[in-house]
Structure 1
Amino acid sequence: MHITFESPDQPDVHALIAELDAYLYSLYPAENVYALDISSLQHPGVLFAVARDAAGAALGCGAIVLKPEYGEVKRMYVRPQARGRGLARRLIETLEGKAAEQGCRRFMLETGPTQPEALIAYERLGYRYRGPFGDYPDDPLSVFMQKDAA
């Protein structure tokens, strides 16, 4: 498997995002899904990475939106058949590394309480629970986490 920074505007990436959206909307009401669309992911201040297998099939993706104070992790997704192999860890580490090269020293994210696997993975990667940040409301269907770069 390899991870590269790519445009999100590709058919196989659209399929990944559609799978992620279907999953999120099965767990949360629409007003509690704070997802970025493909056009937002193409903004110059967004790092977008895709994980692919040896044949080039897209297995996962993730993004970091670079802001002056922090980088926000968004659109993290690994297809179910590719889970359990450390791919999410590699995606996050790749994204954080690139963001750090651009001066980012703090990473934040918003996820949901009904995604225990994601919460455990983020904790293992050094993320700690915190209160809302940015424009997010304080809501029981949101979990906020932060990690400061070493």
Structure 2
Amino acid sequence: MSSIVKVVKTTSENPDFLSLIKTFDEYLWERYPELKTNYWGNNVIELNTNVVVIYLDEKPVACGCFKKYDKNTIEIKRMFVSPEARGLGLAQKVLHELELWAKEFDYSISVLETLYKQQEAIILYQKVGYVIVDNYGPYVGLDKSVCMQKIIGKIYK
């Protein structure tokens, strides 16, 4: 019996997104207790109208969002897949949906930041075309951050 996967474009006010993010934050606190003071200000989600939630048999199991970084660039934020739904390609699906959505707004570059222990995430991002770049913006000088970038559309100068 196959599962039903549903992709929903929504906002950061979506209760299922908020629930997934709460679980994500708890996971990160456990995995990185040493970073509580340095990093979490960068993960506050202000109102965001570019959120994707994926449901597996009506249960919210994966999410991500993007925000404008500059005129040509989006930043991927809050990528998370519930432990019980990992290995099903859902993170890749979230990323793909976010990149397609960003291209609708003529963005051409996607950047993101993850943490050094997130090896599975780093491998996934590289698999779908992201490359490691120098830390940008709020992550400059933070040695636990891994910043990545991908060209998602035509670059206009």
Question: Does TM, scored on the shorter chain, surpass 0.5?
Answer: yes
Q: Match of 1:112?
A: 115
Displaced runs of 4 or more, over 3 A: none
TM-aligned CA deviation for residue 134 of structure 1: 2.3
* 1:1-150 equivalence runs, <5 A: 1-28=5-32, 29-30=35-36, 31-33=38-40, 34-37=42-45, 40=46, 42-43=47-48, 46-54=49-57, 56-67=58-69, 68-150=71-153
Q: Deviations over 1:62-99 (max 9, x none)?
A: 00112313100000000011010110001000000010
Distance 2:107 2:13 in 1: 25
1:8 counterpart letter in structure 2? S
Structure 1 gap ranges (5+): none
| Identity, % of aligned positions | 31
Secondary structure, aligned partner of 1:135: helix
Q: What TM-score does the superposition give when structure 1 sets the normalisation length?
A: 0.89
1:111 counterpart letter in structure 2? T
Task: Say how many residue pairs are matched.
Answer: 144
**Contact kept in structure 2, 1:66 and 1:99, CA below 8 Å:** no
Secondary structure, aligned partner of 2:27: helix
Q: What TM-score does the superposition give when structure 2 sets the normalisation length?
A: 0.85
Distance 1:12 1:47 in 2: 14
TM-aligned CA deviation for residue 35 of structure 1: 0.8
For the aligned residue pairs, the C-alpha RMSD in angstroms reads: 1.4
1:9 counterpart letter in structure 2? E
TM-aligned CA deviation for residue 107 of structure 1: 0.5
